[in-house]
Structure 1
Amino acid sequence: MVAIKFVARFQSVEMLRVLLILVALWLHCNHADQMEEFLKKEFSLMKPYAGLSSRSSNWDILGNTVLTTQSLRLTPEKQSKLGAVWNRVPCNVKDWELQVHFKIHGEAKTFMNGDGMAIWYTKDRMKKGPVFGSKDMFVGLGVFLDTYPNEDKQDELLSKRFTPRTERVFPYISAMINNGSLSYDHDNDGRPSELAGCSASIRNVKHDTFLVIRYVKSRLTIMMDIEGKNEWKDCVDVAGVRLPQGFYFGVSALTGDLSDIHELISLKFYELTVERTRTLKEVEEPEENVEVTEPSVDNWTPPGKKVKPEPLDGLTVFLVAFFTLMTITGIAVAGILLCEKWEKRKESKRHFY
């Protein structure tokens, strides 16, 4: 009887312990990495755009940009136009989110329009160039809204709306991290240096189109709301992205032989406060506390770029040399034995005849 009571009590204690563990796990999952967001007006741009480009403003406009009551029209529907808007304040926020309200439209038929627009977080600002209106070989992050497939030159491929090798449907949104050593490849729509991307119907839609870029704990996430459903859909999600602080935000657009109207309606920048739960590995190797001085992505190499092999240590060199020598010796001994066996067989045949 005593034994039965003891077992029953033991089982109840174990059940209580399991229940407490489950509750602790639930609390951890619901409270770990919780975020709060705070709108930062110095990095935001919203209607009525009061005092834009004045001395008291945090923003400068560039090129063919025209301020209207409803938007900043970066380019008109004319060929060879360029426009941009750049923030004057370097961003020293560690974790952030940028919500972009934009509109791309025009009278031209599909694939008779171009070229697209870009959202930037870069070391340099107010630099005209061929990459959607801004400079090539930039340092930082570029998010490209590409509306024309340059790689598709044939009518058959244009009618299918995808590139022959990767079947990327256009318009196409992509991200690129650059330390100043990579050039954006227009002929291949930036594919050689693309970090990640997705197809998105963002041109000539009747409802509002939004893009959100989030950078939290060295993770770059890009989502879009382009269907008028007030729902974010994933586009890019890459961990191990290292972006320095102190860079500038900007938006640019470009037309070439083809044209479109590219409009920026608003930018809303949020500072995110993240509750960082640290694992044992993170405590032993606190990478997040190391200052980032150059944009990079962990374990990623642009296609076509050769990676230099790491030099072998002394022990590895010794083992490779040892086993190579043993292999050569074994092959030589086997060859000698085969030769001797062959000679003996020949001798035996001579004696037989």
Structure 2
Amino acid sequence: MVLFTKQWTSGLLISCILLFGHAQAGIFSNRASNDDSSSSSSNNNNNNGGGATKEKSVVTQKMDYKLSFKIPYVYNGTIPFWSAGGDTITALDRIRITPSVPGTKGRIWSDLENNYEEWMVDMSFAISGNHLNGGRGMAFWYTQDKLPEGPIFGAKDQWKGLSIWFDSADPKTHAPSIMAFLNDGRFSFASAGVDPTKQALATCAIDYRNSNGYVKMLLTYKNRVLTLLLDPTSRGKNYRPCFRYTDIDLPTGYHFGLTAASHNPADDHDILSFETYQLNPPQKKMDHKRPLEEEKIKKGEEFQGLTAEQLKKIEETEYEIRRLREQSNEAPIEIEAAATMGVLFDTERRILETLQVTQLQIEALGAPTSQQVLSGSFVPKPAAGKQEAGGISADHLRTETQTILKRLEQQSNHNDQQLRTLKDTMSKMETLLQAMDNRMALQTNNLQGKLSEITKDSAEAKGTMSTLIKYILYACGLQGVVGLAIYLYWKLRVEKNEKKFL
């Protein structure tokens, strides 16, 4: 009965899912068509209602997930397609390149090269500290190689490519600044007497340290123009231009990277997300539609909503599902018993199907049906041993029927034997568990008794030792008194002898 109820519930669930799927397909198709129509009308400046010609929207940018990372950062213990090193800490909500500990350096680099001629980086970061001035800063890199640890904000000097410094500890202004540099791998910025500001491509002085929340950075390279936008206050709603540098060549095949360094006082340098986009990607060609796809789209566009009858069926199905769930919660069934009942039910169903097939085969050979047997309206067949028109004798049919019955009986006996074996196994396991419990209880009692004896012996030994120590102390005291008396006596004798000579 329980299995039948579950099967009926599954049927209701499948019907409900199909009905909802059809409804949602129509609704979403209708919305998609409306969105496409509105997009097409705005692009063509043609307000012709539903008769406007639909055009495919042009994709201007496409994100590359292999050159990006965001929450959740870690998969199988690593950041996919990125390598972190130094003092970098990966948390649940951010990647801390360097913590607010003096002398720390961290880095994170993309394992794959950037093969896009035009690209954009959308990054969210935060640089914060408890002191008035910053604690060194962070650098964005687009270089030919992944740089090891070095003096330039935690990266190697004399790099080949682009570097943008977020210097929060400018020694001249003591205010956060941003500077962009281009190096061919020969110039050393860390050499003594070098002023980096004189080598900068572009600079700006937007305050990004200790912002409210996080800072949004938008770096775009398009048509040989490098543009940096920054929003330190409104999380990407109000970008401010930082710099725009033209006629710059940034080749493909370079790596993106981020490094940071903390001096004393130190800052936290956090990266919340790093997303790389390809600008003006090749447009995807329209694939051929599948069979009957046009008709399905048309049906979805004509769909206006669920009818009252469909809504009523959905409500009835939901009510029935809730009722069955409540019944199942009120009368829980053990998993083993349910599995056993399922096996028995399946076996009985197979036996019934076999009997039905056998009955149909016998009726096809001319045997009377069950209704004819019950009513008695059938003509007896000739004696055994004689063959019918089809060439099959009644003895043969009887033999086959007995064989089938024997097989069914053997299968039923086999199932009974399996059930008995299962019950015997469970009984043995219960006996074994009970014996183990008794043995554990006995061992526990023995251990408690031994512990009590050990405690008692320890107490007696302790008392004996204390008595012995007392005796030793008494003997030492007595010897001291005797010695003192002897010494006083000797001293008096000496003094008396001295008085005699005087």
TM-score, normalised by the number of residues in structure 2 = 0.42
Deviations 1:47-72 (A, max 9, x none): 11032773x82000010000101100
Please tell me whether residue 130 in structure 1 is matched to residue 151 in structure 2.
yes
Contact 1:210 1:224 in 2 (8 A): yes
**In the alignment, which of 99, 106, 119 is matched to residue 76 of structure 1?**
99
Query: How many percent identity over aligned positions?
Result: 27
SS at match of 1:215: strand
Alpha-carbon distance in structure 2 between the residues aligned to 1:220 and 1:122: 15
Runs (5+) with no aligned partner, structure 1: 1-33, 153-161, 163-168, 276-353
Structure with the greater relative contact order (CA < 8 A, sep ≥ 6): 1 or 2? Answer: 1
Write the mapping of 1:48-67 to structure 2, written as runs, cut at 5 A. Answer: 48-51=72-75, 54=78, 57-67=80-90
CA drift of 1:257 comes to: 3.2
Q: Which amino acid aligns with 1:134?
A: A
Please tell me whether residue 192 in structure 1 is matched to residue 192 in structure 2.
no
Aligned-residue RMSD, C-alpha: 2.1
1:105 paired residue number: 128
2:277 paired residue number: 270
**In the alignment, which of 177, 180, 188 is matched to residue 175 of structure 1?**
180
Contact 2:102 2:266 in 1 (8 A): yes
Indicate the structure (1 or 2) with the bigger Cα radius of gyration: 2
Alpha-carbon distance in structure 1 between the residues aligned to 2:101 and 2:180: 26
Contact 2:154 2:259 in 1 (8 A): yes
Q: Which amino acid aligns with 2:275?
A: K
CA drift of 1:106 comes to: 1.2
Please tell me whether residue 261 in structure 1 is matched to residue 250 in structure 2.
no
TM-score, normalised by the number of residues in structure 1 = 0.60
Write the mapping of 1:37-48 to structure 2, written as runs, cut at 5 A. Answer: 37-48=61-72
1:209 paired residue number: 215
SS at match of 2:164: strand
Flag the 1:242–1:123 CA change in 2: closer, same or farther, 3 A. same
2:499 paired residue number: none
Q: Which amino acid aligns with 1:200?
A: I
1:239 paired residue number: 246
SS at match of 1:175: strand
2:410 paired residue number: none
**Higher strand residue share:** 1
2:167 paired residue number: 146
Runs (5+) with no aligned partner, structure 2: 1-57, 283-502
Contact 1:96 1:215 in 2 (8 A): yes
**Higher helix residue share:** 2
1:281 paired residue number: none
CA drift of 1:174 comes to: 1.1
Alpha-carbon distance in structure 1 between the residues aligned to 2:157 and 2:277: 28
SS at match of 1:242: coil
Stretches of 4+ aligned residues off by more than 6 angstroms: 186-189
Deviations 1:134-187 (A, max 9, x none): 11110000011000122x3xxxxxxxxx3xxxxxx7200111111112222587
Alpha-carbon distance in structure 1 between the residues aligned to 2:234 and 2:176: 17
Matched length: 223
